[in-house]
Homo-oligomer: A and B are copies of this chain.
């Protein structure tokens, strides 16, 4: 548990980078996908299975954890790593995104966001300083600044107001974080769909003393081409020596496109949420196990998967479990999806190292699109 936080790029392929984030809790191989452990659990998975699937780090949600079980309680119990039995790196978001999407009666001003809990109606105030304090109490390895994330589309004026507020909160967040050896704090680029705002935000955030830079406010309703265009706009302004994190993204296709544009880190509920709803991500695209066509299919999802759950159970069985509302169905599909995402990231890293990312992406897309007709 000693050592510094550091990032190094080991190889590049076009704009894509393969590298390593070192933390006292272990290494995060990049490009990395971090499964989301919302309320101190990657839903429906044992932590040892998250690790076995290949995940180097997970994400925790400040909004959920501050409300239940409470940051002070987690600190008292020894911190989030010990609490959730995950001794490896944890990144925490700032709480800002979910305050805006989940809480009731929120009121945002310069100071922060006052809101009522969606669980019990209790009143809370989330400021940049309080968010940093919560993340410190949790013992997070990578803290995120508090920002304001607007839904897209929105007016340029609204995007600008939120972007400027986020910059002021970035400064307050950075100051509140202080100096915590071995831990990092990341700034977040905002600016909606406006190239000019995105560039201004990127330059300003990059000029602050953050250990990494995140792109926020994307994958919030806009088409993929808008997201990718914003990434292309922002990337040249994010220093190469720091890790770049695209928050809340995304589908396998979003990921390969963003990696190709220089993104190093991702998180998303997609693999876990989809799994709980009967959707599997595989090399051959997305499979909806609730579909009646699987009822009599003895084939597993992927005979060649490194994930035993994808090999050892028939589609007919997975279909049955989902139709019957059985927890095991959610457990198996979550595991299959988290494993596929990690398999994808491993493939991406190897492809970058070998200078064949373009081919890798083309092949992956072809397999997804072809589905299983060719199998």
Binding site for B on A (CB under 8 A): 39-41, 43-46, 68-69, 73, 76-78, 83-85, 276, 295-296, 298, 312-314, 316-317, 320-321, 323-324, 326-328, 330-332
Q: Chain B: which residue is nearest A78 at the CB level?
A: B298
Residue A317 contacts which of B84, B328, B330 (CB distance < 8 angstroms)? B84
Residues on the B chain within 8 Å of A85, using CB: 312-313, 317
Q: Are A324 and B84 in contact (CB under 8 A)?
A: no
Residues on the B chain within 8 Å of A73, using CB: 295-296, 316
The interface residues of chain A, by DSSP majority, are classed as loop
Residues on the B chain within 8 Å of A83, using CB: 314, 316-317, 320
Question: How many Å from the CB of A353 to the closest CB on chain B?
Answer: 34
Q: Are A69 and B328 in contact (CB under 8 A)?
A: no
Q: A314-B83, A331-B46 are in contact. Are A321 and B41 (CB under 8 A)?
A: yes
Residues on the B chain within 8 Å of A77, using CB: 296, 298, 314, 316-317
Question: How many Å from the CB of A17 to the closest CB on chain B?
Answer: 34
Query: How many Å lie between the Cα of A12 and that of B204 in the bound state?
Result: 80
Query: How many Å lie between the Cα of A327 and that of B323 in the bound state?
Result: 18
Residue A46 contacts which of B39, B41, B328 (CB distance < 8 angstroms)? B328
Query: How many Å lie between the Cα of A317 and that of B78 in the bound state?
Result: 11
